[in-house]
Structure 1
Amino acid sequence: MDFSGLELKIRMTLVAGPDLSVFVPVRLYYKDTDPFAVQFSFDVTPDHVVRWTFARELLDQGLTAPAGIGDVKIAPIGPHRNRGFSIELESADGYACLEGPAASVKAWLTQTFEAVPAGRESESVDIDSLLDKLLNH
């Protein structure tokens, strides 16, 4: 693989209640060391960053139809022409719902699939090195 990662920085709306929302900077990152996953982070405050890692396939599916169960749920929102998406994150530490533009995420996601096509992720993983790290630490 001839890249170390692909990053997208966007602004999303953190929905804190029916009448309360705030813009937050969001970072999506895809790296060659974990080709099945997408890293998603957003700044709650300058000193508090929330980080999640979930399946790239989940993000891809959630941009066109509701996807996910459990901790991460992603769904399209709005009319098709101005389509956005929502992502709900839930853990024992809390809950967050963010809404943002789907077009820029879809374009970025397309780049990740160009770098590592769907179904070929395992070709990018060095299983021997991974096992060596797990067994020797």
Structure 2
Amino acid sequence: MITVIEQAVQARLVATAPKVETVPVTLCYDRADPFAVRMAFPAPATLEGVEVSWTFARELLTSGLQHPAGCGDVRVRPYDGDRTTVEFHAPEGVAIVLMLTAELQRFLERASALVPPGLEHMYLDMDHSLDELMRGSC
């Protein structure tokens, strides 16, 4: 049974310079962490020169396809009829990427088939989570 979904997509990195770079991004959804999605950016697309991953709520991505969502480190909003903007805010600055809305919707549909929205709590391993939380506390 499939428990992890990964999907490669193309994103356009928006910069202040006229050149807009296209970078490959990997979207990941893991049934073991049912409330979250992960977006991984390859080393050449980052300031540090290493792969960088951002993990945030699946609900944020879902909501952001329809209307502006998020007020923290990750913000998602429709850009035009075909694209969605995802903003990543960090102490080093802000990265803004444009992604095809259809690719994001396809990824979310696959994730929803794995864990239906609203039923995420049924896929949590609370015993394991408590063990991890309590490890080393005694």
Q: TM-score, normalised by structure 1?
A: 0.90
Tell me if structure 2 keeps the 8 A contact 1:8–1:105. Answer: no
Q: How does 1:67-106 map to 2 (within 5 A)?
A: 67-78=69-80, 80=81, 83-106=82-105
Kindly report structure 1 stretches of 4+ aligned residues shifted beyond 4 Å: none
User: In structure 2, how many angstroms separate the alpha carbons of the residues matched to 1:17 and 1:43?
Assistant: 21
Output aligned runs, 1:41-120, within 5 Å.
Answer: 41-45=40-44, 47-78=49-80, 80=81, 83-120=82-119
Task: Name the CA distance, whole Å, in 2 between partners of 1:77 and 1:122.
Answer: 32
Which has the higher mean CA deviation after the structures are superposed, 44-53 or 127-136? 44-53
Counterpart residue number, 1:26: 25
Asked if 1 retains the 8 angstrom alpha-carbon contact of 2:3 and 2:114, the reply is no
When the two structures are superposed, what TM-score results if normalisation uses the length of structure 2? Answer: 0.89
Gap runs ≥5 in structure 2: none
Whether the aligned pair in 2 keeps the contact of 1:24 and 1:44 (CA below 8 Å) is no
Residues 87-132 of structure 1: per-residue CA shift (max 9 Å, x gap):
0000113310000111011011011111111111011011011111
The secondary structure found in structure 1 opposite 2:71 is coil
Distance (Å, rounded) in 1 between the aligned partners of 2:4 and 2:10? 20
One-letter amino acid of the structure 1 residue matched with residue 59 of structure 2: E
CA distance in 2, matches of 1:77, 1:95: 17
| Distance in 1, Cα, partners of 2:106 & 2:9 | 12
Aligned length: 133
Shift of 1:55: 0.2
Q: 1:129 & 1:63 partners in 2: Cα distance? A: 33
Q: Which deviations, in whole Å up to 9, do the C-alpha atoms of 1:35-94 show, x marking residues without a partner?
A: 00000111251742221000000000111111111211111112x3xx110100001133
Q: Paired residue for 1:13?
A: 12
1:17 counterpart SS class = coil
Task: Give, in whole Å, the separation in 2 of the partners of 1:128 and 1:11.
Answer: 38
Report the aligned-residue RMSD.
1.5
